[in-house]
A and B are shown apart, each in its own frame.
Chain A
Amino acid sequence: MNFETIMFYAFSAMIVFAGLRVITARNPVHAVLFLVLTFISCAGIWILLEAEFLAITLVLVYVGAVMVLFLFVVMMLDINLAQLRKDFWRWLPFGAALAVLMAYEMIWVLGSYETPGGNAAIKHAADYSNTKELGRLIYTDYVYPFEIAAVILLVAMVAAIALTLRRRKDAKSQVISEQVATKKADRLRIVKMQSEHKDSAANQLGEQK
């Protein structure tokens, strides 16, 4: 057993353990952190497959951004676990059936990829950049699916903002461009006046009395 195989089994064991803990952890924040651990272990396996671009992007996008926002939301939720667990046994058969179906589908899809000589990853030279390869494929052969996916994401984002945007009528906001464009003359008025003397001030006070 060489080093790569040991690493593969270590990462796989970590994924299975963390994945199970995601659905069994009682505390939702712990569940999210276990999901982060699952992603990082997956990235480790992808590194072993020499897919370093995908692995680092997984860490960058999912761990660095998506899960942070996830954690952000989950930390603020007030989750009543007893309420959530109430109907667990009632829905278990349905959930189990779905899980079996998904497992069957995955086995079916992956099982059909039998290549001669096993499913070993193809080794590349040290200067091979799969970032460049991936970029070339995405922007040439798969440019339309790529752009359609991008547009769908944009539409989803706009829709999400449009659904949740509530504009208050009495909200106050700054108009930054106006503030920046302000000249000295708009805000400051210089008044020319005679300087006041001590005696004259005292005299005036005396007259008023």
Chain B
Amino acid sequence: MNEKVISCKALTKRFGDFTAVDAITFEVEKGEIFGFLGANGAGKTTAMRMLCGLSNPTSGEAKIAGFDIYKETEKIKKSIGYMSQKFSLYDDLTVQENITFFAGIYGLSDKAIKENSAALLKQLGMEDQADKRVSSLPLGWKQKLAFSTAIIHKPEIVFLDEPTGGVDPVTRRQFWDLIYEASGNGITIFVTTHYMDEAEYCNRVSIMVDGKVEALDTPTNLKKQFSVTTMDEVFYHLAREAKRGE
């Protein structure tokens, strides 16, 4: 289990004079749950957008699922899933239509769509809701559905951008159960979050400050390193040194 699914070296993004992401270097292993933390404006979203192929890096190297971030973006796109912080399903379509649509644009065959979506609905216990409009579902269900839809094509990596924003603690817990299950199936999870209890759930955590990765280790080691008892304190310790404002 030492296969590297994400590896970046000195990955940098500049917007004019402003260096949003400053030479970040890290690796993520297959099946790992990798927490990508940072205060607002630290450069998390920009970094993630580069890794997803939504934004071109200014310099540096990166390989996603073994594909080069500059030359093989199309192959990368096929091997990743993505769930944004905004709600990412279509409200006016039914649960089943949403699943079919997203599976469809990833080029799954009709048979695979049928099988995968049946399995997905069963896993979420949403068989009865299949023909309901997504707008009628509670937020927690929507988030779970969005996550499951993001991995319907069985990607190698799934990028989650603050997936649990505005969700109640119980649903958040259930959401993490889904994440663990996916990780158990060999899907690598790359997740940004503002909730420090969620950081504790991750295998490893990186903390970005002012565009740089300031700390990267397991939550346990990080706490040891800064001689504190919670991730909250680790984060506070690092983030208060930030010079950038919001």
Q: Do A and B come from one complex?
A: no
B residues touching A (Cβ–Cβ < 8 Å)?
none
A residues touching B (Cβ–Cβ < 8 Å)?
none
